[in-house]
Amino acid sequence: MIEVRHLQKSFGTQRVLDGVDMRIHEGESVVIIGRSGGGKSVLLKHLIGLLTPDSGEVLVDGVDIVHMNERDLIDVRRKFGMLFQGAALFDSMTVAENIAFALRRQQQCTEDEVREKVSEALALVELAGIEQKKPAQLSGGMRKRVGLARAIVYRPEILLYDEPTTGLDPIISDSIDQLIINIRQKLKVTSVAVTHDMRSARRIGQRIFMLYHGRIYASGTAEEIFASQDPVVHHFVNGISEPRQDLLEDF
Amino acid sequence: MRPPDPARWASDKVHALGEFTLLTREAFISLFRRRPDFRDIIYQLYFIGVKSQSVVLITGAFTGMVLAAQTYFQFHRVRMDTATLAVVGVGMCSELGPVLTALMVAGRVGAALAAELGTMRVTEQIDALRTLATHPVDYLVVPRLAATIVALPLLTVESVAIGIMGGYLLCRAFLGAYATYAWDNMVVYTGVPDLVTGLIKSIVFGAIIAMVSCYKGMTCREGAEGVGRATTEAVVYSSIAILITNFFLTLTLNRMLA
């Protein structure tokens, strides 16, 4: 279980998180939605200790990770897998080397086992046979799938997705959503995704948190959030903007 | 544009110095306490050592020849022609060999290390390493530090050897048969302490190049501009640190090894 208590984070004079409180239960699939630049990715990175908050706590299975040093965090991070917005594949390595990275670092598998697990992970993301390609030879959707294969190959308990469908066409986005659902069902992992793609949020989220002005403004099941009559939530999930008429008139 | 705030500037510099010190401490602890990946070290040795050959050999040869020529021109006036190679030997071993080799490696390798790590940082590859339960210092900094510390003394020895050879060939052109006396004088006046001084300096310079470049790469700011700036700063700060450290090492080692 992941619990976030009154998390605050500023960059310079800009306060990005202003007292976030949330609780994510084991095995559930959570989606964090909010405006671009609203601090969703910053919140996600706090869950795995990639960023240190100004104040507040992040508890992973009851252990506060905020005050841990980088070495102690290594053990906590073994529970996590993370898919980055740009996939963050190691561009000097092949696809197979990328996926095998964590397994080889752990030194608990033989080379044959590593190869087998890499093939399994690639098959799970429907990209069998591209082991020897370099990340530069892959399309955006393929890179995300390889990133996903790298994140699941060592069977983590918690999977974090940072904007999994951003920048992809609707068909590829749909296939990534389906993949996330399949992986959750097959591996029984806890999933936390941040996105501003409402279609994707509706499909993959069992519970949705909306981040607004640095705080969790609303939370509930996908049905509750999409049926909400709160103006902020309603405008956001339906993509309704409020253009400043005065600026248009001045122009 | 607002003028820079001196207090903020000073605070940023002290903060950066603190970060650099902690990174260096972490890297050396990791180097001695944890088992480094030898494949990574070998790859970095190839990149830092083997691929710097041409730069180092050309620098060493021409520095040795210029030093020999200038020394000969001055010493010829006071009939000390045969002391020329002794000056070349001592100068190349203790000062010019290690310093110029380090400056050339800082330019070639320091820039490449900072650019590589900087690009990894801005494309979130360093964060990806951390999520894969890997300490970036163990995986990225330690192999580069170990390889630079090993490669730089070897490159320095090469540079010194080729510099002295270049000086000798030039002496032969100027002195003819007397070049043999010049060689003999060099062997007499260039001692082990001179070579040890050069080797100790090159180890320190290797650590400076690796740590400054890795620090600049790992703390680089967002975007192409950030990577470009980190690369430039890695070369400039490494070079300045080498020249300043060289002064203090010369004073200290001269007393210790005299």
Least confident range from A182-191, B11-20, B23-32, B195-204: namely A182-191
Tell whether B128 lies on the interface with A, counting CB pairs under 8 A. Answer: yes
Of the candidates A144, A198, A183, which has an alpha carbon nearest to the alpha carbon of residue A32? A198
Stretch 130-159 of chain B: residues touching chain A, C-beta under 8 Å: 130-135, 139
Cβ contact B131–A71 (<8 Å): no
Query: Are B252 and B197 a contacting pair, CB within 8 Å?
Result: no
Higher pLDDT, A1 or A99: A99
What percent of chain B has a predicted confidence (pLDDT) above 70? 98
Asked whether residue A232 is domain-assigned, the answer is yes
Asked whether residue A91 is domain-assigned, the answer is no
Least confident range from A13-17, A123-127, B10-14, B134-138: namely A123-127
Whether pLDDT at B176 is above 90: no
Helix or strand holding residue A216 (H, E): strand A215-221
Residue A41, domain extent:
1-79+187-239
pLDDT, one tens digit per residue, over A134-172 is 999 998 889 998 999 999 999 999 999 999 888 778 888
Give residue limits of the domains in chain B: 37-257
Asked whether residue A39 is domain-assigned, the answer is yes
State which residue of chain B sits closest to A89, comparing Cα positions. B125
Cβ contact B124–A88 (<8 Å): yes
Q: How many CB atoms lie within 10 A of CB A160?
A: 24
Whether pLDDT at A247 is above 80: no
Tell whether A89 lies on the interface with B, counting CB pairs under 8 A. Answer: yes
Any idea what the Cα angle at residue B17 is, between residues B13 and B20, rounded to 5°? 135
pLDDT, one tens digit per residue, over B137-174 is 999 999 999 999 999 999 999 999 999 999 999 988 87
Q: How confident is the model at residue A128 (pLDDT cuts 50, 70, 90)?
A: confident
Q: Sort out which chain A residues have CB atoms less than 8 A from B135's CB and list them.
A: 70-71, 74
Number of structural domains in chain A: 1
pLDDT, one tens digit per residue, over A106-115 is 888 899 999 9
Query: β-strands A80-83, A158-162: how paired?
Result: parallel
Q: How confident is the model at residue B1 (pLDDT cuts 50, 70, 90)?
A: low
- At residue B199, the pLDDT reads 96
- Burial pattern B177-186, b for ≥16 Cβ within 10 A else e, equals eebebbbebb
Whether pLDDT at A241 is above 90: no
CATH of the domain at A197: 3.40.50.300
Contacts of residue B55, Cβ cutoff 8 Å, sequence gap at least 6: B104, B105, B108
- At residue A15, the pLDDT reads 92
Of the candidates B151, B145, B22, B153, which has an alpha carbon nearest to the alpha carbon of residue B98? B153
Asked whether residue A229 is domain-assigned, the answer is yes
Q: How confident is the model at residue B196 (pLDDT cuts 50, 70, 90)?
A: very high
Q: What is the ipTM of this complex?
A: 0.89
Asked whether residue A152 is domain-assigned, the answer is no
Span A36-58, average pLDDT: 93
